[in-house]
Amino acid sequence: ESLPIALNSLELIAIAKLEQSVISTETEAKSLANIGRVYTCLSDYQNAQDYYNQSMEMSVELGLSENIAKVSGDLGIVFSNIS
């Protein structure tokens, strides 16, 4: 379920870079979390953690409480798999 969402997020970022347009920081924060979910599905927990941390930082700055809650849970999954 997370893989199609994350791949869509990767496509969104790639398209934005190709068009040299700026995507909203909220979209970017959510996209970073989705990329983290792809890495979690691939059991690449270090990259997953890196993307989740980037998403968390942006989400806190923007006050995106729903994304903060989701990413907190995602980080919990990562930590449970690396410890």
Please report, for residues 11, 19, 20, 47, the alpha-carbon distance to residue 55 in angstroms, rounded to integers and kept in the order given.
Answer: 17, 23, 21, 12
pTM of the model: 0.75
Span 62-83, mean pLDDT?
A: 96
**Each residue of 3-37: pLDDT tens digit?**
677 667 777 766 666 554 456 788 889 989 998 99
